[in-house]
Amino acid sequence: MPKLKTLEDLKRVRDEAQQALKTRLDTGTTITVGMGTCGIAAGARETMHAVLDELAKRQIDAHVTTVGCIGQCVKEPLVDIEQAGQPRITYANVRPDMVSRLIDEHLIKGQPVAEWIVGKM
Amino acid sequence: MRELALHILDILQNAVEAGATRVALVIVEDVPTDRLVITVRDNGRGMDAQTLAQVTQPFFTSRTTRHVGLGLPLFAAAAERADGQLTIRSQPGVGTTVDVTFTLSHPDRQPLGDMTGTLLAFLLSERTPQLDYQHRVVREGASSVEETDFSFDTADISAALAGLPLTHPAVAQWLAEFLAEGEAELTHVA
Ligand SMILES: Nc1ncnc2c1ncn2[C@@H]1O[C@H](COP(=O)(O)OP(=O)(O)O)[C@@H](O)[C@H]1O
Ligand SMILES: [Mg+2]
């Protein structure tokens, strides 16, 4: 049963994650990708893939999550980056090929990409 | 939208927006009958008869942030182009079922596309309902019909995670691999 095998795998993933959490409590980064109709049509799912791949490649621990329509269709795909103690920053029209620079400058160098920002909260 | 998996993601989002706590998604690619059937069932707030009657018309929406509803009419149009149809049944307070059919071999049928990406985008939502997923492929074998399937219930996944969120980086990575592996095991038609 391959399925059982993978659920066993998942339990191992869980145990490792819980161990890691004990030693490092400040992962504190969440990246949110808008996934309403307009976002989906504008390629938000591919943008999400690119974000996940880039984070894995650079071994950055961040949570990636999706939300429904937030009513700014022409700005989709919208990507929000929230870090502990920092303002929440929203980027517009984020295509997969923009993700690498976004992660590099915002998350690694700590300098948000000013020209792509549409909102701060 | 260029692939059916994107329409499916959009319908799944409707279920999330309707406050569903449980969603069932069934995809059947049936070569002997030349049909592709996609069913999304949710236990969200449902729709009254009046809303239901309007909902497949372009530009109807109950949302207030934006006054254009497109998801369902777009999916219906995709089905109709491939000699199929989209039907919705719904009951207020009970839930909604969206059934979409296609002629599998129709030249104008869009490809199913990246189901792994669609499932991942759904499972990483802020409020993820429990998902019961089943994807079956039925084809003619040498002497009888052969069936392969990939199915899972996120209840089993959540139980194994014991409180760790699906969005945890290590879990998201496991999910991506689990979904890609499961979908790859199916010998696709669509
Ligand atoms: N699963 C569902 N449960 C309850 N209501 C739904 C569901 N799917 C669609 N609806 C209703 O139909 C409307 C139109 O849906 P849709 O065509 O996807 O456009 P949108 O989601 O942009 O409003 C929604 O605003 C909602 O009122
Ligand atoms: Mg919708």
Q: Based on the structure, what is the number of domains in chain B?
A: 1
pLDDT tens, position by position, A15-62: 888 776 654 444 689 999 999 888 999 999 999 999 999 999 998 989
Q: Does B160 touch chain A (CB under 8 A)?
A: yes
Report how far apart, in Å, the C-alpha atoms of B99 and of each of A117, B24, B28, B40 are: 40, 12, 11, 7
Residue A1: pLDDT over 50? no
Query: Could you tell me the residue range of the domain that residue A105 belongs to?
Result: 28-120
> How long, in residues, is chain A?
121
Q: Is B47 near ligand 1, meaning CB less than 6 Å away?
A: yes
Query: Could you tell me the residue range of the domain that residue B78 belongs to?
Result: 4-187
Please check whether residue A1 lies inside any domain of the structure: no
- For residue B175, the CA-to-ligand 2 centroid distance in Å is 25
Please check whether residue A8 lies inside any domain of the structure: no
Instruction: Compare A121 and B18 and report the one with higher pLDDT.
Output: B18
Its pTM stands at 0.91
CATH number, residue A116 = 3.40.30.10
Task: Provide the pLDDT for residue B100.
Answer: 98
**What mean pLDDT is predicted for residues A63-77?**
86
CB proximity list for B187: less than 8 A, separation 6 or greater: B137, B139, B148
Provide, as residue numbers in chain A, all residues whose Cβ is less than 8 Å from the Cβ of B157. Answer: 7, 10
Q: Based on the structure, what is the number of domains in chain A?
A: 1
Q: Which of B39, B147, B162 is nearest to B96 (CA)?
A: B39
Task: Provide the pLDDT for residue B99.
Answer: 98
Please check whether residue A14 lies inside any domain of the structure: no
Ranges of chain B whose pLDDT falls below 50: 67
- The CA distance from A7 to the nearest CA of chain B, in Å, is 7
What single string gives the DSSP state of each residue in A47-67? HHHHHHHHHHHTT---EEEEE
Beta-carbon pairs below 8 A across chains A and B: 108
Residues, CB-to-ion distance under 5 Å, ligand 2: B 14, 71
How large a percentage of chain A has pLDDT more than 70? 89
- Are B15 and B46 within 8 A, CB to CB? no
Residue A107: pLDDT over 60? yes
